[in-house]
Amino acid sequence: MRIGIIGLPQSGKTTIFNALTESQAKTGDYSGVKDPNRAVVKVPDQRLDVLAEMFNPERLIPAEVEYIDVAGLTRGASDDEKSEAAYIAAIRQVDELLQVVRSFESETVFHPEGSVDPKRDIQTVNTELILADLVLADKSAGKLEHQVKVAKTDETVRHFEILKKCKEALEEETFIADLEFSEEELKFLAGFGLLTQKPMLYLLNMGEEEIKKPKYEKEDFAGFLKPSRSCLVPICGELEMEISQLEEADRPLFMEDYGLERSATEEVIQESYSLLGLISFFTYAGPEVRAWTVKEGTSAVKAAGQIHSDMERGFIKAEVIPFETLKELGSIQKAKEKGALELHGKDYVIKDGDVVMFRFNV
């Protein structure tokens, strides 16, 4: 999974990138154009730790997420009709966006709009996303319109209609994610990497003093966030970055001092997963215990295919035990004795936390 971090200049994107990825990228060096920061992190999952203890495997492989932190979006970023800004191109390929919204006050950190106003900033950024998509949809529709004139096929007409629908929605400031499409239409649109089609998680970047006395409540943003399924997580970016730089053993005490119940990193990943409709399952084949990520509703045979195409082709059955049951019983051996391993066929729908052994034949 790939997640792009966006927001206005100096809203705290790189600070939060560092917190999420335990990186040390330079913060506060506003310079407009720069290469994106990238880092891959292992998805923290306490269930995997329990399994590690139970199986004592040679290798423990968590799921991974890549974060891409780009330069700040500015007003008019999408005005250039000829070439798309490189940092916008860089986020067209991600699965989900994190929009960092500044709530912290600071005498020393400048605000491109002159004052702290999260709702206005969200609007500014979202307008840029809409414009960037509009330019792209317009260009592509123009090309198709030409094709429709010179060599009309049913397909070109259909594709042109899809883009027209997108353009009309964007002109009304509707995000593409809030439109209805058929499977086939979605397949066609997937190639464009429309920014307003991506799930978005908003991170309200608070100052330290806001932990105890929040300036804004989540409810203040209800009905305001786009696309409509989005949600907002308040996070204290600077503190989270400090926490990420501590030794793991020192973190709980530090967090307690500031009245933080858990690190925001885990919450961000959880919310990111649920926005994308992703779940985790686990396998314990041979020397390896491993976490896998699939879309909710994935069948056992497709899940096997994600591991290896041979496993999909030669699929026989899946031996499944829910994580909680396995944890209670204490070991696979015990689970076998108790007959707690369920046998499922191809069409079984994988559930979050399933511990699975695939039986296959090649």
Ligand X SMILES: Nc1nc2c(ncn2[C@@H]2O[C@H](COP(=O)(O)OP(=O)(O)OP(=O)(O)O)[C@@H](O)[C@H]2O)c(=O)[nH]1
Q: Does 14 bind Mg ion (CB under 5 A)?
A: yes
C-alpha span between 27 and 330 (Å, rounded): 46
Q: Least distance from C-beta 129 to Mg ion, angstroms? A: 18
How far apart are CB 15 and ligand X at their closest, in Å? 3
Q: Which helix (H) or strand (E) holds 42?
A: strand 37-42
Residue 58 in 3-state DSSP?
coil
- Judge contact between 142 and 102, C-beta under 8 A: no
Among 121, 133, 238, 354, binds ligand X (CB under 6 A): 238
The DSSP-derived string for 262-301 is S-HHHHHHHHHHHHHTEEEEEE--TTEEEEEEEETT-BHH
Binding to ligand X, residues 266-325 (CB under 6 A):
none
CB 195 within 8 A of CB 128: no
- C-alpha count within 13 angstroms, C-beta hemisphere, residue 224: 15
Spatial separation of the C-alpha atoms in residues 318 and 311, rounded to whole Å: 11
Q: How many CB atoms lie within 10 A of CB 157?
A: 12
Question: Shortest distance, CB of residue 258 to ligand X, whole angstroms?
Answer: 12
Q: Is residue 30 close enough to count as binding ligand X by CB under 6 A?
A: yes
Residue 279 contacts residue 296 (beta carbons within 8 Å): yes
* Interface region with Mg ion, contact rule CB under 5 A, candidates 10-18, 130-138, 147-155, 270-278: 10-18
Q: In terms of CB distance, is 7 or 353 closer to ligand X? A: 7
23 binds Mg ion (CB under 5 A): no
Instruction: Scan residues 101-120 and list those touching ligand X (CB under 6 A).
Output: 104, 106, 109
Q: Of 11-19, 42-50, 77-85, 266-274, which part binds ligand X (CB under 6 A)?
A: 11-19
Q: Which of residues 34-73 bind ligand X (CB under 6 A)?
A: 71-72
Element at 188 (helix H, strand E):
helix 183-190
DSSP classification of residue 11: S
Residue 230 in the binding site for ligand X (CB under 6 A) = no
- 9's contact among Mg ion, ligand X, none, with CB below 5 to 8 A by partner kind, is ligand X
If contact means CB under 5 to 8 A according to the sort of partner, which of Mg ion, ligand X, none does residue 197 touch? Answer: none
Q: Single out the residue of 3, 4, 6, 14 in contact with ligand X (rule: CB under 6 A).
A: 14
Binding mask 188-207 for ligand X (x = CB under 6 A): -----------------x-x
Q: Does the protein bind ligand X through residue 214 (CB under 6 A)?
A: no
- Name which of 33 and 151 has its Cβ closer to Mg ion: 33
Binding status of residue 9 toward ligand X by CB under 6 A: yes
Place of tokens 């649920």: 274
354 near ligand X, rule: CB under 6 A: no
- If DSSP states are collapsed to H, E and C, what string results for 303-354? HHHHHCHHHHHCEEEEEEEEHHHHHHHCCHHHHHHCCCCEEECCCCECCCCE
For Mg ion, the binding residues (CB under 5 A) are 13-14
For ligand X, the binding residues (CB under 6 A) are 7, 9-15, 27-28, 30, 71-72, 104, 106, 109, 205, 207, 236-238
